[in-house]
Structure 1
Amino acid sequence: MYRKGFVIMQLLSADQVNFADFVEAFNAAYEDYFVRVVMNQRSFKNLIQRDAILMTHSVVCVEDAKIVGMALLAKREQKGWIGGVGVIPHYRRRGIARQMMEYLIAQARTLNIETLTLEVIEQNHYALHLYKTLGFQPQRRLVVLENRTLSPLKNLTHEHYVVESVMPHQALIYFNAFHDEPNAWQRSLEAIKQLTQECWIIKERNNAQVLGYCVFQVGFGDLLIIDIAFSPTYPNIADLIKVLMNTIHQAYEGYSGHLINHPMAHRATQSLIEMGYQETLAQLEMSLFLSDQL
């Protein structure tokens, strides 16, 4: 518990408050965010499961039994992730976010987490400054890429390759081999298994070896790419990317397509831009190395 002016604020673990009230407060905290976020109880429970969020170690800030702020802590092995840091507009600039972040960092230490990661939208200068003062260091840019109308490239040669639809588990066995840098937290293998609906792979003709895959969701005219990965040793990765994605574009021509939290330095980025994808939002992934502070 701490006092801010004449207002007494209390920090509680997120599992101590009514879940419906928590979701309502979360939506209120994000109603004027750079990207509007609206959740219901079902979607939030799915988020908790998919991203390995620990409500027992996450935090809410309460004033007179009203939730005015929240922040989430997730854990996989010795890695942790912080997300959903929000404060209802009327209560901002009172140090609540800092108090909640310090609470989560302390919780991470009790859980023996070695590295804490979070993302912050580049334009969110206040949050970026806060995280830096707490010791978080920028690691890489994560971008949202969007293509408003999928259309196949003309005159793209496909005869050297075969693209086919498979069950997701048939492609995801290559997840570790095809990722020479980690995905963002929300695109971990555990999360992808829960998100994926469809999967297409690419191989050389007359060669059974899988060289790349794209897993995605389709709905209401939109194609959400969950993960796109390729063999890092293949010499013509740009060709693989364009042929695989062009085939998908042909199948879903006229749909919109997008990727979320895609590393800007990923080998597929430039090829996707050449196919009509545009950066619409960028975040900085930041890490706090708790093991260095022991």
Structure 2
Amino acid sequence: MEPSSFSLVPAAQLPYDHLARLINQTFADYYLTVWLDAYQFERMCYEEDIDLTKSVVAMVNDVPVGISLFSIRDSQGWISGVGVLPLWRRRGVAIRILHHIQAVARSDKLANLRLEVLTQNAGALALYRQLGFRWERDLLVLTLEPGLFSYLSPPPGILRADPDTLLKAYHRFHSMRNPWQRELPSLEHRKKHLFGWGMWENDVLVAYILTHIQSGNYAIADLAVDPQLPHRLQLARTLLLALHTERPDMGCHILNVPTESPLLPAFTGLSYRIWHRQHEMIWLVPDAHPLIQPEGD
């Protein structure tokens, strides 16, 4: 690749349909099926605070060959959608894209960057380590097959509730950080597509679940229980059971449950299985952490 033929441009210079097509092409042979149309891509950008002026597209002779999406919330950054067309892999495209993102993080005085990578994606994992990203924790994608339960009405104390009411308890109910896609800003952005159930004890909300329908099955956006309650795990299991016995014909999945989550046994105890495992990795921006020695960039 001649240096003069290569350039990096803000993703905002391309229309949504072109960006969606590029994502689809770069992930066509990925471990997971990825397909977005222009509307879905635009909605994803809104829900995940993707800044297309700072996201980047790699061009060779003015033809898009690679992409990385970049989200910012306060001093935190998140990288997603890193992909390169098959013919242009292992030619330095991805590392130049990510060097650029790291430079933007420095200029914007961010504290850190996070990303997720499937554990089987050895090439990407090696690249991120080379660039100074470090393992932070593992996240699980969990799935449940339909037809495992019989129909039951929700038990007393579990009622439908609007997301605004439930999300008022978000910070109080979460004892550990949710992954980016399920942090409060993401939930707030997508709440018009969500519906939920709350669990009350003595007229006090003690737990909730938020979900939406995706491809005919449930997709859980958040499951949260008051961490001060000794029967926290039992409450989580009761909410999940109410969800699945009301519509036993529907399967379910949830993205990126931390392996150390105290609520993980509520899922596995109801026959959820691990579909994929991801490493959540972090890069501490050196200018924000002067005692950290830069690695690989």
Decide: shared fold, TM above 0.5.
Answer: yes
Of the structure 1 ranges 237-246 and 275-284, higher mean CA displacement relative to structure 2 is found in 237-246
Does residue 111 (structure 1) correspond to residue 108 (structure 2)? The answer is: yes
For 1:150 and 1:247, the matched residues in 2 are separated by 14
Sort the Cα spacing of 1:150 and 1:110 in 2 relative to 1 into closer, same or farther, 3 A.
farther
Partner of 1:277: 272
**Does 2:131 align with 1:139?**
no
Structure 2 residue 9 is the aligned partner of structure 1 residue 12: yes
- Identity across the alignment (%): 28
| 1:185 partnered with 2:180 | yes
Q: Is the 8 A contact 1:23 1:41 kept in 2?
A: yes
- CA 1:220–1:79 in structure 2 vs 1: closer, same or farther (change >3 Å)? closer
Instruction: Specify the alignment match of 1:250 in structure 2.
Output: 245
- Secondary structure (helix, strand or coil) at the match of 2:256 reads strand
* 1:177-256 paired onto structure 2 within 5 Å: 177-196=172-191, 197-204=194-201, 207-218=202-213, 221-256=216-251
State the TM-score, normalized to the length of structure 1: 0.92
Q: Does 1:94 align with 2:91?
A: yes
Name the CA distance, whole Å, in 1 between partners of 2:188 and 2:52: 22
Question: What TM-score, normalized to structure 2?
Answer: 0.91
CA distance in 2, matches of 1:86, 1:20: 16
Q: Retained in 2: the 8 A contact 1:153–1:275?
A: no
257, 261, 271: which one aligns with 2:256: 261
After superposing on structure 2, the runs of 4+ consecutive aligned residues of structure 1 that deviate more than 6 Å are none
Q: CA deviation at 1:111?
A: 1.5
Aligned residues: 286
Distance in 2 between the 1:219 and 1:82 partners? Answer: 24
1:258–1:114 distance in 2 versus 1, CA, 3 Å: same
C-alpha displacement at 1:79, in angstroms?
0.5
Q: Give 3-state SS (helix, strand or coil) of 2:213's partner.
A: strand
Q: Which position in structure 1 is the counterpart of 2:169?
A: 174
Give 5+ residue unaligned stretches, structure 2.
292-297
Contact 2:144/2:251, CA 8 A, preserved across alignment? yes
Q: How large is the RMSD of aligned CA atoms in angstroms?
A: 2.0
For the residues of structure 2 that align with 1:64 and 1:39, how far apart are their CA atoms? 25
Local SS of the residue matching 1:109: helix
Query: What secondary structure does 2:289 align onto?
Result: helix
Cα 1:14–1:221 change in 2 (3 A) is closer
Once the two structures are TM-superposed, the CA of residue 49 in structure 1 deviates from its matched residue by 0.9
Distance between the aligned counterparts of 1:34 and 1:7, measured in 2? 33
Is contact 1:61–1:69 with CA below 8 Å preserved after alignment? yes
Q: Tell me the distance in 1 between the aligned counterparts of 2:144 and 2:265.
A: 13
**Residue 217 (structure 1) shift:** 0.5
5+ residue gaps, structure 1 = none
Asked whether the 8 Å contact 1:150–1:249 carries over to 2, the reply is no
Retained in 1: the 8 A contact 2:146–2:248? yes
Alignment deviations for residues 60-117 of structure 1 (CA, whole Å, 9 cap, x no partner): 1101111000001110011110011000011100111111000001011122211111
Q: Match of 2:236, as an amino acid?
A: I
For residues 41-75 of structure 1, give each alpha carbon's deviation from its aligned partner in whole angstroms, at most 9, with x where no partner exists: 11111111111111111111101111000001110
Range moving further from structure 2, 262-271 or 168-177: 262-271
Q: Report the equivalent of 1:163.
A: 158
Is the CA contact (8 Å cut-off) linking 2:150 and 2:248 kept in structure 1?
no
Q: Which is worse superposed, 167-176 or 257-266?
A: 257-266
CA 1:289–1:66: 2 relative to 1, 3 Å: same
Q: Is the 8 A contact 2:16 2:41 kept in 1?
A: no
